[in-house]
Amino acid sequence: MKPTDLKPEEFQGYFANYVNQVSNEYTLIEELEISVHRLIKFVQNIPMDKFDYRYAEGKWTIKDIIQHLIDSERIFAYRALRFARNDATELPGFEENDYVDEAKANKRSIQQLLTELAVVRQATLSLFQSFSEEELLRIGVASHNPISVRALGFVIIGHQNHHQRVFEERYL
């Protein structure tokens, strides 16, 4: 399945921004696997002095953003698991700035962060590979917006793509 296979009722509002940033070139499973390698290779080519750089006061560093991607992916995958298992509980949003402040990513090496990102993605990939077609179509509510399990997979990818573009536009 590809992003264009999603129906309008499978994602709305906040989530549409990320789903719309995923190419139709690969399937969800293929893109979950390929995109993390693409990002890691991209980050490994960033000059070392840029990892702690902030383009403006109060903005995150590249390390902060990578930690944010890790934390967000864990949350999105958890939501997918809950909805796939037919849990109808509406799930709250999360305050990303608080997570970044508490994570203290800038005290970690870039290699530690990239290794964790790869491990988290492997877990996400395994989770999505385990879902049946029926489970992928299930819809739950998170951050006050309905979203399907499969759309959450595309959100993970689109969120990563969004931040890679931010790296390119504002950090390099």
Residue 66: CATH number of its domain:
1.20.120.450
Query: How far is it, in rounded angstroms, from Cα 2 to Cα 82?
Result: 22
Range of the domain at 78: 10-45+59-171
The pLDDT value given to residue 152: 98
Q: Does residue 21 form part of some domain?
A: yes
Q: Where does the pLDDT of residue 14 fall: very low under 50, low under 70, confident under 90, or very high at 90 and above?
A: confident
3-state SS class at 82: helix
In a domain, 113, yes or no: yes
In a domain, residue 85? The reply is: yes
pLDDT of residue 88: 94
Look at residues 155, 153, 160, 157 and name the one whose alpha carbon lies nearest to residue 136: 153
Which pLDDT tens digit goes with each residue over 118-139? 999 999 999 999 999 999 999 9
In-domain check, residue 4: no
> Could you tell me if residue 37 is inside a domain?
yes
Cα three-residue angle 21-67-28, rounded to 5 degrees:
35
Tell me if 14 is assigned to some domain: yes
Query: Is 119 part of a structural domain of the chain?
Result: yes
**For residue 93, is pLDDT > 90?**
yes
To which residue do tokens 């969004």 refer? 162
- Token pair of 86, please? 């037919």
Task: Give the number of domains in the chain.
Answer: 1
Asked if residues 43 and 112 have their Cβ atoms less than 8 Å apart, the reply is: no
Residue 103 belongs to a domain: yes
- pLDDT tens for each residue of 38-71: 999 999 999 999 999 999 999 999 999 999 999 9
The pLDDT of residue 13 is 79
